[in-house]
A and B are shown apart, each in its own frame.
Chain A
């Protein structure tokens, strides 16, 4: 599967992430508008791998141990409790900050 994710801060694009789950290739393009690297998806890091992208997606979902996770999944209308299905609906927004993670493209292998 190949996907493109958009990392946003206050609704503005900060990082564009291309991720190929088959080859494990990740490419990140960062905006120059960030006032601090903390606004970027991976901060100052220059080497980013598949595990980092997966961790980023998971960090914008409820933790697996969350007691009312099923309730939220149902309430939000997510297809499943998979992290990608969660961020498809929430666009990676959480109440504690104004970051977001939007799935803008997803292509399955033919």
Chain B
């Protein structure tokens, strides 16, 4: 990987955000986030490329380095998508604006009813397109194996009385970066692939995909798939200076296995 694609990040900054546990700073219209639990930056970068490959535009993440004196951490850089507006999580919006509906959405046991209540509530702010937005968003979570799509990880932007949905973001726990699969082999990789439980519906593995399809979600496999897969592998190898070789090799195996699993669905 060339050094020109990496960003030197100062650890001192005027701005930060309240949510999450990662180090994060806003500097000159760019958000910098450093790895905290494992390899979140790796997951963000790979997920962005996977989303692009499958035709789901999402927030662009580029690999970077967070510098704290002599110590450095892998980091990720993205632009500030608020455009000068106010970023509100869907959870905050529901709590502030919906009254009892909040409990109704939170404790709804049927995944389909939960989805419809959520879509109906958000449609009153951003219009009917929200249904497709949510289906696409959840499909990207399935593609990348993202277990962390709680309602604080779906954002809206509010400005001067108007609302719009934020670009798809926050895939930092995708690609099994938190799993104890230090040594992923061809023997245990499918177990890891099928094991993910997807929020906010708590549906596991294939059941989540079937649920999304039942609601009308569509996943189109790109033409010339083999070539696209090779490009995604190159994205992994491009992070060679940030993560060790064994980690990257295990993620290539996971990428191949997860994609093979998805193609068979």
Contacts and interface: CB of A to CB of B under 8 A. Distances in A.
Interface string A66-79: 11100110010000
B98 to A, nearest CB: 8
Given A96-B87, A97-B88, A98-B86, A67 B18 contact: no
Contacts of B98: 44
Interface of A: 35-38, 40, 42-45, 59-63, 65-68, 71-72, 75, 94-99
B47 to A, nearest CB: 21
B19 interface: yes
A38 B88 CA distance: 9
11 contacts: A36-B161, A42-B96, A44-B96, A44-B99, A59-B92, A61-B18, A66-B20, A67-B22, A95-B25, A95-B26, A96-B19
B82 interface: yes
B83 to A, nearest CB: 12
Given A35-B160, A67-B22, A67-B36, A45 B96 contact: yes
Interface in B131-182: 158, 160-161
A44 B100 CA distance: 11
Q: What DSSP secondary structure best describes chain B's contact surface?
A: loop
Given A35-B160, A36-B161, A38-B88, A63 B18 contact: yes
B18 A45 contact: no
Contacts of B99: 44-45
Contacts of B109: none
Given A94-B16, A95-B26, A67 B96 contact: no
Contacts of B21: 63, 65-67
Given A43-B96, A44-B97, 20 more contacts: A35-B160, A35-B161, A38-B88, A42-B96, A43-B97, A60-B18, A63-B18, A63-B19, A63-B21, A65-B20, A66-B20, A66-B22, A67-B21, A67-B22, A72-B16, A75-B12, A94-B16, A94-B17, A95-B17, A96-B26
A63 B86 contact: no
A80 to B, nearest CB: 18
B18 A62 contact: yes
A35 B161 CA distance: 5
